Amino acid sequence: DRMPELLRTMPKAELHMHIEGSLEPELIFALAQRNGVSIPYASVEELRSAYAFTNLQSFLDIYYAGASVLLTEQDFYDMAWAYLQRAAADHVLRTEMFFDPQTHTERGVSMQTVVQGLHRACVDAKAQLGVDAALILCFLRHLSEESAFETLEQALPFRDLFIGVGLDSSEVGHPPEKFARVFARCRELGLHLVAHAGEEGPPAYVWSALDVLKVERIDHGVQSIKDAALMKRLAADRIPLTVCPLSNLKLCVFPDLAQHNLGQLLDAGLVATVNSDDPAYFGGYVNENFTQTFAATGLSAQHAWQLARNSFEGSFASADARRVWL
């Protein structure tokens, strides 16, 4: 079976990963020690054994606790550098990394500390690893639109260090239209727009992400399959879906990988991609997502090629870079 080798070595872009979700338990403990932060777990093993999730919220509670060890610019650099080395090993040529500033600014860490640390890792990744890395600022949807506006304001001095904005955290009960005004402002600023929608939430949230927020990509979007008119819209407008199979498995969006709808999305002509979401929490980086999903669902080499192509087509890289890759 040559499929795993094809999947591992094929050049790809990663369009959906939360940098705070790449914090491995070992690094959480090392940073806790370095910063004198106490965490409610006695060991790396005890922390990892808490990674048994039943839904999105059960994961988010542990994910925000893990991020509490990040205090200095060097912490943010070290976290991102560890991820970027893994990405390079997985033949990722381009990665667009989400970060959640409100998780840090609400603890008294400055926007500058967060953005400068992550940006410095992106610069070093290009020079030392040949990985083209960019940042997307995400608003936490369980917080208010006013808090999102305040976060945007704090980020504007660093406008050139991120390429766009997204919307993440607890989906159900926090529809995209809650953030209509702040996304309109980001659009005026020339930022790229994406949003998590249709992970646990209904197709209606994908519709409003497209029609109210005017996003260019949908993060997850796997629930779109329940709405035939929406599937037509996504295919016609070539809206990329950044699918995260191991995340969906660990958060019980699908009962097992064999039931995952990635193949159906591709066969319907959608621009679906494969991504790791929160690799330290969901059991693998992007190549693990490819190999496990292909093994479970029996997707073909043609599907693999389409996924790689979709990842570059869906990226926000420069026209010059996309010309080389596509």
| CB 241, min distance to ligand ES4, A | 14
Q: Is 196 annotated as a binding residue?
A: yes
Question: Distance of CA 109 to CAs 7, 47, 162, 243, 283, Å?
Answer: 39, 24, 18, 31, 29
To Zn ion, the closest distance from the beta carbon of 272 in angstroms equals 15
Return residues touching ligand ES4 (CB under 6 A).
Answer: 18, 21, 56, 63, 168-169, 196, 199, 247, 277-278
The answer to whether the beta carbons of residues 275 and 14 sit under 8 Å apart is: yes
Which of 14, 199, 200, 288 is the catalytic position? 199
Site string for Zn ion, 228-267 (x = CB under 5 A): ----------------------------------------
Q: Which of the choices Zn ion, ligand ES4, none does residue 199 contact, using the CB cut-off of 5 to 8 A by kind? A: ligand ES4
Smallest distance, Zn ion to C-beta of residue 42, A: 29
* 216 is an active site residue: no
**Site for Zn ion contains 75 (CB under 5 A):** no
Question: Dihedral, CA atoms, 279, 284, 287, 292, nearest 10 degrees?
Answer: -130
CA 260 to each of CA 63, 256, 278: distance values in angstroms, whole numbers, following the listed order:
24, 7, 18
277 binds Zn ion (CB under 5 A): yes
- Which of 56, 187, 77 is closest to 135 using CA atoms? 77
Taking the least distance from each CB to ligand ES4, the nearer of 8 and 142 is 142
Q: What are phi and psi of 133, to 5 degrees?
A: -120, 135
8-state DSSP, 209: I
Q: Which residue is nearest to ligand ES4 (CB)?
A: 168
What is the C-alpha to C-alpha distance for residues 99 and 68, in angstroms, rounded to an integer? 14
What are the catalytic residues?
199
List binding-site positions. 16, 18, 196, 277-278
